[in-house]
Amino acid sequence: MGMNRRETLAIVMAWLSLFQGFLVAVNGDFNYKEALTKSIIFLEAQRSGKLPPNHRPAWRGDSALDDGKLANVDLVGGYYDAGDNVKYGFPMAFTVTTLSWAAIFYGHDLRAAGELDNVHSAIRWGTDYFLKASSRKNRLYVQVGDPNQDHQCWAKPEMMQTPRTVLQIDENHPGTEIAAETAAAMAASSIVFRRVDRAYSRRLLNKAKLLFQFAKTHKGTYDGECPFYCSFSGYNDELLWAATWLYMATKRPVYLEFIQDESISANVAEFSWDLKYAGAQILLTKLYFEGEKSLQNFKNQADSYVCSVLPDSPYHQIFITRGGMIFMRDGANTQYVTGTAFLFSVYSDLLAKHNQKITCGNQQFDSTHLMAFAKQQMDYLLGNNPEGRSYMVGFGVNPPTQAHHRGASVPNILNTKDFSCGMSFVRYFLKNVPNPNELTGAILGGPDRFDNFDDKRWDSPKTEPCTYINSLAVGILAKLATHSV
């Protein structure tokens, strides 16, 4: 028996009510320039060391000013990667590499948005630290802080009482992934500073060459950052990634020969701090389009990556939530959202410039198709989602207020004697109230595979931020801020 018009209208109204937040967000674009500015401010909130006078998050102060003393080396500076107080070299280097990529490919857009200098400062905060960490030949300091003890105390960095243990790699204790990723960071950033500070750029590039040589001469997976940053993908992706950035920076045949003859590549469906193949393949596709036809295989692999991710590709293989978000795994899942959006944006630009399309089986996709998907992923994070809320702190509608972050959730206590590690979780971590300090611009871990989100500090897979989630967002936010897509 069919429904009458009143029943049909009631059902339609119920659905409209259910997805009201979602539909409202669909109808309007976002203030991408504001999102861009705030995403960079978050990176400033992650700085370790002696903060500069123009530091924007006023609630942050100097921290970890004795880092490196246990190893008789100066390791002050760098970044805390997430909501804790350990400095992990592996994700820090990836943050700097991807931020440098954004500055190289979207420098014009960043300048137009008034953020290029801030991005340069963010990169330099990392590279200054890496120059210290690599100051001795065939040695790289890769971690400061004891993660196990750090995770037993909910303290903001300014009042840390936990040990600042130093870990290193060297000829006898190799760590190819970290050495190669740091080489990539130094090579990419050397391109950024080439026109701004030539001497500094040369220092970075020389260090990149040495680190790459060290990485491929002394091969071995480094597990010192496990279980927090274990390299599940091995080191071949980092070697290809580093060689690609060194070739981009130098145009020296030795790096192209390594890419062509020695490197190992693979078809993949994700891009992350652990898995760099897709990023290298898209960079090499740029060179292929510019005439380096020996790189055809990398172009094919870049296309395979896109075909594996696009929802309307016949070769699509990754999970997309009902609300339209890429979902790979619990815990900082938004890194895959921003990472995919960034790579698709870059590839979209390459396709447009060279008037190319991607073929996936019996279908073809052009630059506008890729960019539309990239934009949709970013829009999801900014508010165009079933919950009708922003996943960037301090931005948009109903943004999160309980980021899983020590510095943001512990108030600015003047007297550190009032602080107790033993009581820190009860007093600050488990309190169901907004953080006293707004972690402006942080893109949090995000919703689960069912598009559900709990704004609770203790639900770390959903509420913990990471530097590399934001570094991957900077380039595409700059593009969206200055182009009507």
Task: Report the run of H or E that residue 177 belongs to, with start and end.
Answer: helix 176-192
> In this model, does residue 420 exceed pLDDT 70?
yes
Q: What does the pLDDT read at residue 484?
A: 57
Q: How confident is the model at residue 136 (pLDDT cuts 50, 70, 90)?
A: very high
pTM exceeds cut of 0.85: yes
Which residue ranges form the domains of the chain, and what is each CATH number? 65-482 (1.50.10.10)
Give the integer Cα–Cα distance in Å for 155 and 5.
60
Q: Is the pLDDT of residue 151 over 50?
A: yes
Instruction: Indicate whether 416 pLDDT > 90.
Output: no
Q: What pLDDT was estimated at residue 223?
A: 74
| Contacts with 73 (C-beta within 8 Å, 6 or more apart), sequence order | 132, 135, 136, 141, 166
Residue 9 predicted with pLDDT over 60: no
Residues 353-380 have pLDDT tens digits of: 999 999 999 999 999 999 999 999 999 9
Residues 455 and 458: their CA atoms lie apart, in Å, by 9
Q: Name the residue with tokens 């190893």.
A: 71
In this predicted model, what pLDDT tens digit does every residue of 430-457 receive, in sequence order? 999 999 999 999 999 999 999 999 999 9
In whole angstroms, what separates CA 290 from the centre of its chain?
28
Residue 10 pLDDT > 70: no
pLDDT grade for 20, boundaries at 50, 70 and 90: very low
Q: Are strands 358-360 and 363-365 parallel, antiparallel or unpaired?
A: antiparallel
pLDDT over 50 (residue 276): yes
Separation between Cα atoms, residue 99 and residue 75, nearest integer Å: 21
For the chain, the straight-line distance linking the first and the last C-alpha, in angstroms and rounded, comes to 46
pLDDT confidence of residue 25: 39
- What count of other Cβ atoms lies within 10 Å of the Cβ of residue 262? 12
Q: Which residues are catalytic, by number? A: 404
Question: In this model, does residue 298 exceed pLDDT 70?
Answer: yes
**Is the pLDDT assigned to residue 24 strictly greater than 60?**
no
CB 406 within 8 A of CB 84: yes
Q: Is the peptide bond before 227 cis (omega within 30 degrees of 0)?
A: yes
Residue 28, pLDDT score: 58
pLDDT (average), residues 5-20: 38
Report percent pLDDT > 90 for the chain: 88
DSSP string, 4-52: PHHHHHHHHHHHHHHTHHHHHHHTS---HHHHHHHHHHHHHHTB-BS--
Mean pLDDT estimate for the chain: 93
Query: Which DSSP string do the residues of 309-365 spell out, in sequence order?
Result: H-TTSTT--S-B-TTS-B---SSSTHHHHHHHHHHHHHHHHHHHHTT--EEETTEEE
Return the pLDDT at 397: 98
- What share of the chain in percent tops pLDDT 70? 93
**Cα 402 to Cα 438: distance, rounded to the nearest angstrom:** 9
Distance, in Å, from the CA atom of 358 to the CA atom of 299, rounded to the nearest integer, reads 10
The residue behind tokens 């301090």 is 394
